[in-house]
Every structure is written in structure tokens, then in C-alpha cells.
Chain A
Amino acid sequence: MGIMSSALIQARDIVFGYEGLPVLKNVSLTINHGEVFCLLGPNGSGKTTLLDCFLGLNKPESGSITVNGKNLADLHPTETAQLLAYIPQSHQKNFPFTVFDVVLMGRTSYTGFFDSPDANDRKIASDVLENMGLAHLSDRDYTRLSGGESQLVLIARALAQEAPILVMDEPSSHLDFRNEMHLLEMIINIISKGSRSVVLTTHSPYLAFFLENRGIPVRAGLLENGKLTETGCPSSVLNPENMARAFNVNTAMISHSSESGELKSLIPINAIKES
């Protein structure tokens, strides 16, 4: 596979704003096959806006986005859904569907406007639940699940969607320590199967370091005030100098030697006083 053909998402000079207020200023970014891309940045820097551009929800004012070689702006929602699956950080649960039915909804883009999912779709949904070890939740009322379980069910739904790109908006923000680890292992598992890429936003630098330490193809991007200032491997992008500039926080890079190699992470020291 050549370098050019490994680009799954190719964004060029995206400009986007709300009511004249520019949010994204000439963002260019490539997401490759089989990698995790972690997008970091202060609140309001445009992370979610950029994800929504990738999902086809926001139409950039200028610039272009191609996904798998196709121009995103030309795609019908069903085509977009077969390329990008979205995993929200949390959502309002109105109706008590079963876990199985929620996962089955991932198959919507494969069913006609007047159709319901068929036996094949049901098989795919139950296989996904089985493979994720969630089969026991299948008949449970999805509104009664814990935050960690809901997150896993939404991932299952995205996997049933069979899209090559998973888009996660702050996937670990509502999870406890154990569930956060569970989620990261799940991402590692998905990536190591080789057929999918993950784009996620996060506020925790150590999430990116964790993936890097585990030897997963991972890159980080730093979005500052609508501009993508740095991209590269987490240990080079999320360095104390960049973190001090982007977040006004003093940090230190630490490293720990273990049997599996050198483990790096970032620890916060103090907030820099605004002058």
C-alpha cells in the first residue's frame, strides 16, 4: 500500500464558522488507514466542530474533505453512514429500547427508506454483541444501563454500522477508571484487527500516551483557536512546551521503564497564572 492510498480522510484548508464567527481556520489534516487520531485542544478550540465536518453535519465554507477518495459534500447520508460511524459522549435516552434494538439501529443505512432491518442485519448485530462480550445485555433495557455499559453499546452500534472510520467525541469523559481502561482496550482491539481507523477528541493527554505506549499506530493533533498547530506522535506533540502554550499548564514528561519497554506520560505541575 503506497503512502497516498493510505489516506482515509483528507481534509484540505477547511474554513467553518457559526454566524460569521470563524471556528475552524484553514485546517488541513489526513487520517490514515488503521490509526487512531487523538484531537486535543482547549474548550472552544473547535474539536467537536471539526468532527461534525468529518461526519458531514457541518458543511465547510471553503476547503474540501474527501473520505476514501469521495468528496464528502457529494455523499447522501446513507453513503456517509457507511464510511463514518459516530459514537457520542452521551445522549438523552427517550425511549426504552432493548440493547439489541439499539445495536440493530447501526444497520439503518443498509435498509431502505420504507424497510426495517432484516434477518441478515439481526445476525450482524448479534455477532457484534457476541464478539464484544455483551451478549448478556442483549435483552436488557438500554435506558437502565450504567454509563460504561452505554458507551460499549454505542460502540457496538457503530461496529454494526460496518464503517471503516469510527468517530468518537470525548469517549472517556463519563467513564470511571476501570471503564476508561476497558474502552481503551476496546479501541486497541478494534485497531489491531486492521480494518478500521478511529478519530477521537479528548481532554486527557495520557489517553494518547497510553495508546502510544501500547504500540498502536497513533497520532495526536493540537487544535488551538481553530488552527491545527501540531500533528505527530503523542510524545512529540504533547510536549511541555506545546502544552504550556495551548493550555497554560506547566507539565513534565515522565518515563518509566518496564518489561514491555519505555512508558511515557505527562504529569501536570501547575496552571500558569494569566497575566
Chain B
Amino acid sequence: MKPVRRRSAFYILIPTAPVILILISLCLGRYPIPVGDVIASLLNPFFGTAIDARTMAIINYIRLPRAILAVMVGGSLAVSGTAFQGLFRNPLVSSGMLGVSNGSGFGAALAIIIFGSTPLVYPISFLFGSLAVLFSYFVGRIYKTATNITLVLGGVIVGSLFSAGVSFLKYIADPYDQLPAIVFWLMGSLASARYKDILLAGIPMAAGSIGLFAVRYRINVLAMGEKEARTMGVDLRLTRIFVVACATLATAGAVCVSGVIGWVGLIIPHMGRMITGSDNRHLVPFSFSLGGCFLLIVDDISRLISGSELPLGILTAFIGAPFFIYLLKITKGKGWES
């Protein structure tokens, strides 16, 4: 166990790090804005601080919603990945495990082909993401002995089914208009973030993340194996359904508004585990914070690096891989047993 002083310092960092990073992010961009002006813009709606309208519009209506969304999406993906890795006791499981990413991708592609790039893409993508998980769950229950292994298998099968569906939609899509929209959506971006999107997608993301936070001790007990967890009083079925439902809400909420951002839901939980250890009481809140900060930084880099914005799905891996290797080296891969 860590000394108490270090642990409480750590707990202060969990909520403050994303806030500080959001403030820094608001300064950054094609038009750099000094911190003073950023704070004046943020306070303007409440206290009427003096600030020119253009600066305020950039900060309050463009950069702030995007930064908040980045934190929420990163946090939701990371927390879902953490919960799934704990539930399935498997390091290769990610937030998209039960087909939610492929399902959402399919829904988005379908919506783009039928309705074009309208806001309808969000709810349809969310719907198909959730449907995919429901499918996986029922495939996993076909065997009488419904265990976590069959659930994972169900996820793999349903995920690849929807992935094939996406390929089919790409194949029949109009190559000049729809196809680029689908491809770009699948690579992930927060560029279209507005407050409306945050509100809409924020509800399932917040609900799912809070649910996972609440149930995190049960996930600890599941690490002992299903049989032992059951004999210690864990209602396996209820816990499994609750964790899967929360992680699905959080991930589908994130994916429908940001596209498929790989890596965060797989690797951030591992990074968190290397830093805080495997106890979900600490790991779950820390993963949210770490995932949020990570995606925010990646999105800042994406905004700064070129006017056309590199897709996030590409950047997360480019930036995350070296960071992961570095962490592996300094922590010697603590957090998992072979």
C-alpha cells in the first residue's frame, strides 16, 4: 500500500488534471489566446467580464465543448475498457469487445448512406452499437453454461459480422460523397462537437461511467474467478448484466459522437494499472481521468498539427504507443500476472 499522503495527493490529481488540461487546451489553436482572455471568456456569461465577442465565441462555443467532449469520450472509453478487462479477466479485451464499436460504425455508415451526414447519424449509430452488444449477449447465452468466455466469443463473432456489414456498406456507397464521409467517421474526430452533441451523447456516457464507478468493488471480487466470487456473495448474472450495460452505454455514447477511436479503451486501462495497481476502487476513477487527459492532448495535437486535422484514430496510436512502451519500461509491466 502507498503512504497515505501520496494517495491523497493522487486523489486530488484525478479531478484537477483534466480541468487544468482543459484550460491549457483552450489557449491552444490556430489562433492562440492568452490565459487571461480565456478565463475572461469563460466568466463572461456569469459575470459579464469584458472580452471581445470573437474571442469569446471561439472559446465558449468552439474550443470548450470540444475539450469537454474529448475528456468525456476518452474517460468513457477508458473506464469501459477497465471494467471489461476486470470482468473478463483478460488483458486483450477493450471497450469495443462486445461489438459496440463495429455496431456503431455500421449504424453510422448506414445513416450516412440513407440520410447523408446529418445529426441523425448519432442516434442511429448509438442504437446499432447497443444492438450489437445485445446480440453478443444472446449468442453468448446459447450454451447452457453461459460464462464470460462464451460472452467474449459472442462479441468476437458479432463484431466481425458488423465489420463485414461496414465493408459491404462502403462497397455500395457513393465513392465521391458517402464513402469519404464513412471512412472519415470511422477514423474518429471531435471536430463537429457542439453543446447539443455533448448533451445528447453526454447522458449515456455519464450514466455508464457513474454506474461502473459505483459497482467497481464487485469487479475486484470477480478477479478471484467466477466460482469464488459467487461463493463470496456476488450475484454473477446481475453483476455481469450491469457492467455490460453500463460499459455499452458509455462506449456507444462516446463512439456515436466521436467515431471509432481505437486504442484508448484497450491501452489506457493498462497504463492506469501500471500506475495505480489493479484495485478497481482506485483504478476506475483514475482510468477515467487518464483516458480523458490522454484524448484531450491527442485532440490538441490533432488541431495544432495541420489545418485539415489528422483523424484521432491514427494519432492515438502514434502518440500512445511510445508512451505505453515508456511506461512499460519504468513500471516493469506491473498490474497483471502471467
User: A-side interface residues toward B, CB under 8 Å?
Assistant: 55-57, 76-78, 80-82, 84-86, 88, 91-98, 100-102, 105-106, 108-111, 113-117, 139, 143, 157, 161, 167
Q: Are A86 and B228 in contact (CB under 8 A)?
A: yes
Instruction: Give the shortest distance, in Å, between B306 (CB) and chain A (any CB).
Output: 41
Across the interface, B231 reaches (CB within 8 A) one of A85, A98, A114, A143, namely A85
Q: Are B232 and A106 in contact (CB under 8 A)?
A: yes
Q: A114-B214, A115-B217 are in contact. Are A97 and B223 (CB under 8 A)?
A: yes
Closest to B237 in A: A77
**Chain B, interface residues (CB within 8 Å), range:** 20 to 34
Q: Are B336 and A81 in contact (CB under 8 A)?
A: no
Q: List 11 A-B contacts (CB under 8 A).
A: A55-B231, A84-B231, A85-B231, A85-B232, A86-B227, A86-B228, A95-B335, A95-B336, A97-B220, A101-B279, A108-B233
Q: Are B235 and A57 in contact (CB under 8 A)?
A: no
Q: A91-B224, A94-B336, A94-B337 are in contact. Are A161 and B279 (CB under 8 A)?
A: no
Q: B34 within 8 Å of A by Cβ? A: no
Q: A114-B215, A115-B217, A116-B217 are in contact. Are A92 and B225 (CB under 8 A)?
A: yes
Q: B58 within 8 Å of A by Cβ? A: no
Residues of B129-168 at the interface with A, using a CB-CB cut-off of 8 Å, are none
Residues of chain B lying within 8 A (CB to CB) of residue A111? 217
Q: Are B336 and A86 in contact (CB under 8 A)?
A: no
Q: A91-B224, A95-B278, A97-B220 are in contact. Are A109 and B232 (CB under 8 A)?
A: yes
Q: Are A96 and B277 in contact (CB under 8 A)?
A: yes
Closest to A98 in B: B1
Q: A86-B231, A114-B214 are in contact. Are A97 and B279 (CB under 8 A)?
A: yes
Give per-residue flags for B223-245: 1 if the beta carbon is below 8 A from chain A beta carbons, else 0.
Answer: 11101111111111011000000
Q: Are A94 and B231 in contact (CB under 8 A)?
A: no
Instruction: Give the shortest distance, in Å, between B123 (CB) and chain A (any CB).
Output: 29
Instruction: Give the shortest distance, in Å, between A193 (CB) and chain B (any CB).
Output: 22
Residues of chain A lying within 8 A (CB to CB) of residue B336? 94-96
User: B-side interface residues toward A, CB under 8 Å?
Assistant: 1, 86, 89, 214-218, 220-221, 223-225, 227-236, 238-239, 277-279, 281, 334-337
Q: Are B217 and A57 in contact (CB under 8 A)?
A: no
Q: Are B335 and A96 in contact (CB under 8 A)?
A: yes
Residues of chain B lying within 8 A (CB to CB) of residue A88? 225, 227-228
Residues of chain B lying within 8 A (CB to CB) of residue A93? 337
Closest to A95 in B: B278
Identify the 3 closest CB pairs spanning chains A and B, nearest first.
A109-B233, A81-B233, A95-B278
Closest to B278 in A: A95
Instruction: Give the shortest distance, in Å, between A21 (CB) and chain B (any CB).
Output: 14
Instruction: Give the shortest distance, in Å, between B3 (CB) and chain A (any CB).
Output: 12
Q: Are B232 and A94 in contact (CB under 8 A)?
A: no
Q: A96-B278, A98-B1, A111-B217 are in contact. Are A57 and B231 (CB under 8 A)?
A: yes
Give bound CA distance, A82 to B227, whole Å. Answer: 16
Residues of chain A lying within 8 A (CB to CB) of residue B221? 105, 108
Closest to B215 in A: A114
Give bound CA distance, A95 to B124, whole Å. Answer: 38
Q: Are B217 and A117 in contact (CB under 8 A)?
A: yes
Give bound CA distance, A167 to B232, whole Å. Answer: 12
Give bound CA distance, A121 to B42, whole Å. Answer: 45
Residues of chain B lying within 8 A (CB to CB) of residue A106? 232
Residues of chain A lying within 8 A (CB to CB) of residue B1? 98, 100, 139
Residues of chain B lying within 8 A (CB to CB) of residue A91? 224-225, 228
Give bound CA distance, A216 to B214, whole Å. Answer: 45
- Given pairs A88-B225, A92-B225, A108-B233, 12 additional interface contacts (CB within 8 A): A57-B227, A80-B233, A85-B231, A86-B227, A86-B228, A88-B227, A92-B89, A93-B337, A94-B336, A96-B336, A108-B221, A109-B233
